[in-house]
Each structure stands twice: as structure tokens, then as C-alpha cells.
Amino acid sequence: MKMTISLPAGGSRLSELIIGPGTLDELPREILTRLGRRRAFWVWDANVRELWGERLPALQLGGAEHSEPILFAASETNKRLSSVEELARRLVEAGADRNSVLVAVGGGVTGDVVGFLASVYMRGIPCHQVPTTLLAQVDSSVGGKTGVDLPEGKNLLGSFHQPEAVWMDPRFLETLPAVELRQGMAEVVKTAMIGDARLWDYLEGHHEAIRRRDPEAVSRIVTACCAFKASVVEADEKEGGYRRILNFGHTIGHALERLSGYRVRHGDAVAVGMAVSAELSRRLGRLPDEAAARLIKLCEAWDLPTRVPSGYDPAAIVAALRSDKKRMGDVLHFILPVRIGEAIDYENLDETLLRRTLTDLSA
């Protein structure tokens, strides 16, 4: 299966998503044909290069139009402006100019850093994304958000820069550690719950195939998630309102991540946030018991946590949400599921209900 989704990027330009096994074999040639007279500069997550550089000789073939690979030690701690500067200097040294194109190969960190670099290098050059983690394939490589962290918080510097194309091969996931697969699955479960009941049924019925990273099964879920995210982004590229739906589980998730000093991983934090939001929705009489139970069951099947970890005071979580709200200069929004495949944007949730629910769901 190979699927192409196009989405508008900055007006009339199209950003293409190419998904399916075999994508990688065609990648260097396909990119070359799109380049015209431009030259491509490849920035690789060093781990991915180590694992896949030799397994994919086609990527090494290159040609005069491809540069030597540039390696980036991808990690959240290196998702910094200093990395952008260092990579930019390496690009200058390698001869990249205003007519060059960047290709980012790696997970979400690499995609965010290289996407940001592309948006500012010589006032902006195009980029292609080759996401290699499930999280990057289903989430971070679609939508055009790029950025780096500051010591004061994540993603505080960034830009919107739609890639020309995103190339997704499920085979990359063969080497992905289970803990990373799980982080991506949290976003997949999120997508199914807020917008795709058919994907939900697929997830319930194809657990084993996904767990063993069957290429067809992975392509199926990546395609569904990208199609949904693309449709949301198309309707609301710059996060006016509708795009907020993607934040299901993230309001509480972000608070937990921050309170833990980022020791609780993003997908795990989002899973807890989804469980709390579902329970809130159930208590408000918006979500049937059966749907709430199915969410918990699916998260548990993926070893995703569904209770607030011990040691996190509900009052501290509520306080963190309040400070988030102040920072965003906004009312507090909760995305609440109302059935499998549909969610609503709920404002001004009662804090007492929230505190009580967090207490009841504490481990």
C-alpha cells in the first residue's frame, strides 16, 4: 500500500505525504526528481544513520545533487538553538545556499530542529521530512510546526514551515525500542478516540500485527492518523480553534510532564490525561461508561498508564493547569470525548470536579 495525501501549505503550495513500505527504496531518486536544479542536504539522526545507513544502500547512492550526510545527535536536550546554529554552520561549510533543500531523517526531535533550521536558513529554504519514529510519523511530521526548546520550556522558539513532502516507511519501526513505539501509540489512540471510529476498531482487532510492526498494519494506522491530522490542520493551520481538538489528553499530560521534570514521557503523560478526560466526561454524563472502559482497556493493552502516578498531588496538577492557562492568556479548554470517534471542546470545567477526579484516579 502506498498512499499520498496532499495538504495545502502556506496558501496554494501542496505538502505531500507518501506512506507505505518501499517508500525508502524510491526516496533518493524521487527526491532527486523533485529537486530540479536544487541540491539536497541530508541531516540524519546519528542513531538512525547507524541503524539504517548500511541497511539502505539506496540512500547512500546519492549522486552529485545529494551532499554528504550531516549527523545530528538527536535528543530532547539537544533540541536547542545552539544545535540549529551548529547545523547551519555545517551547511554553510558544505556549500548549502538559497537554492538548497534540507532532508531530515529521524524522529520528532530531528524533524523539529531541521524544520526550524530550514525555515530560517538564508531566510528560509524548503525541506523534506523522513520521520523514523511512530510518533514522528503519526504526529510531529504533519502540520508544519517546527521548533526548539528553551531552559524555561519546550518548543518556545519555533515557526510554521510546511515540508514539501513527508516520506514515511513503516520499516523504520523495526528497530524502534518498545518504549518509543508506546509513546507513538498514545497519539494513535488519541486520534482514534477524537476522530476515527474505524481506526479504533482496527486498533482493537490488530494489536498483535501492530506490536510486531507489520508494515501493512503500521501503514494503515499511520495513514489514518495523517489523514485525520491533515484534515484538522487544513481547516485550522495556525491553531485558531479547531486544531485544539488534537490536544485531547494533552492539557493534563503537559502538566504531568512538567511537574515530573520531563521524566514522565510524553505519550505516557497523554495516556493519563486521556483517562482523566474520559472520566470527567463520563461524570458529566457526556461519555457512555462502555466507551470510557474501552479507552482504558486499549491503553492498558499498550502498557500505557491510565492513573495519575503516585507522588503527584492533584492540587499541584490543578495549579500547573492554572499557570498554563495564564501563560496562554486563554480560558482553560478541556477536550472531552463524547463517544468513540468524537470529542468536544469544553470550557471552564468545574475545578472541584477536576480535583476530585484526579484524586480518584491517583495510583
Ligand X SMILES: NC(=O)c1ccc[n+]([C@@H]2O[C@H](COP(=O)([O-])OP(=O)(O)OC[C@H]3O[C@@H](n4cnc5c(N)ncnc54)[C@H](O)[C@@H]3O)[C@@H](O)[C@H]2O)c1
Q: How many residues does the chain have?
A: 363
Distance (Å) of CA 148 to CA 83, 84, 114, 151:
9, 9, 10, 10
Dihedral Cα 88, 94, 95, 100, nearest 10 deg: -60
Contact string (CB under 6 A) for ligand X, positions 14-53, x = contact: -------------------------------x-xx--x--
Whether 155 is a known active-site residue: answer no
Q: CA-to-CA distance for 111 and 96, rounded, in angstroms?
A: 18
179 vs 315, beta carbon nearer ligand X:
179
Asked whether residue 187 is marked as a ligand-binding residue, the answer is: yes
Window contacting ligand X (CB under 6 A); options: 169-177, 279-287, 294-302, 313-321: 169-177
Question: Considering 49, 66, 79, 254, which one is annotated as catalytic?
Answer: 254
Answer yes or no whether residue 252 interacts with ligand X by CB under 6 A. no
**Residue 153, all three cell numbers:** 520550556
**Residue 13, all three cell numbers:** 503550495
Name which position in 66, 128, 145, 333 contacts ligand X (CB under 6 A). Answer: 145
**Residue 115, all three cell numbers:** 524544520
Name which position in 20, 28, 69, 107 contacts ligand X (CB under 6 A). Answer: 107
Window contacting ligand X (CB under 6 A); options: 27-35, 128-136, 332-340, 343-351: 128-136
**Residue 92, all three cell numbers:** 554553510
**Element of type H or E holding 167:** strand 165-168
161 vs 282, beta carbon nearer ligand X:
161
Question: Considering 180, 187, 257, 279, which one is annotated as catalytic?
Answer: 187
What lies within 8 Å, CB to CB, of 82 at 6+ separation is none
Whether 239 is a known active-site residue: answer yes
CB of 28 to ligand X, least distance (A): 18
Answer yes or no whether residue 176 interacts with ligand X by CB under 6 A. yes
Asked whether residue 54 is marked as a ligand-binding residue, the answer is: no
Asked whether residue 132 is marked as a ligand-binding residue, the answer is: yes
Distance (Å) of CA 162 to CA 75, 122, 322:
22, 17, 32
CB of 115 to ligand X, least distance (A): 7
Q: CA-to-CA distance for 253 and 152, rounded, in angstroms?
A: 18
CA dihedral for 83, 89, 91, 94, sign (positive or negative)? negative
Question: Considering 220, 250, 282, 333, which one is annotated as catalytic?
Answer: 250
Answer yes or no whether residue 260 interacts with ligand X by CB under 6 A. no
Question: Considering 171, 220, 247, 257, which one is annotated as catalytic?
Answer: 247
Asked whether residue 261 is marked as a ligand-binding residue, the answer is: no
Answer yes or no whether residue 270 interacts with ligand X by CB under 6 A. no
Asked whether residue 160 is marked as a ligand-binding residue, the answer is: no
Question: Considering 30, 204, 234, 239, which one is annotated as catalytic?
Answer: 239
180 vs 196, beta carbon nearer ligand X:
180
Asked whether residue 145 is marked as a ligand-binding residue, the answer is: yes
Asked whether residue 128 is marked as a ligand-binding residue, the answer is: no
Strands 13-19 and 3-9: antiparallel
**Element of type H or E holding 89:** helix 81-94
Enumerate the β-bridge partners of residue 334. Answer: 346
Asked whether residue 116 is marked as a ligand-binding residue, the answer is: no
Whether 145 is a known active-site residue: answer yes
Asked whether residue 158 is marked as a ligand-binding residue, the answer is: no
Whether 254 is a known active-site residue: answer yes
Answer yes or no whether residue 136 interacts with ligand X by CB under 6 A. yes
- The candidate with the shortest Cα–Cα distance to 234, out of 1, 4, 10, is 10
**Residue 228, all three cell numbers:** 485525520
Interface of this chain with ligand X, residues 51 to 80, rule: CB under 6 A: 51, 74-76, 79
Strands 127-131 and 145-150: unpaired
Placement of cell 540524519 in the chain: 44
Answer yes or no whether residue 180 interacts with ligand X by CB under 6 A. yes
What lies within 8 Å, CB to CB, of 323 at 6+ separation is none
What lies within 8 Å, CB to CB, of 45 at 6+ separation is 72, 74, 105, 106, 107, 109, 110, 132
Summarize as ranges the residues that interact with ligand X (CB under 6 A).
45, 47-48, 51, 74-76, 79, 106-110, 112, 132-133, 135-136, 139-140, 143, 145, 154-155, 172, 175-176, 180, 183
Q: Which residues are annotated as a binding site?
A: 108-112, 132-133, 145, 154, 172-175, 187, 250, 266
Which residues have a catalytic role annotated? 123, 145, 187, 229, 239, 243, 247, 250, 254, 266
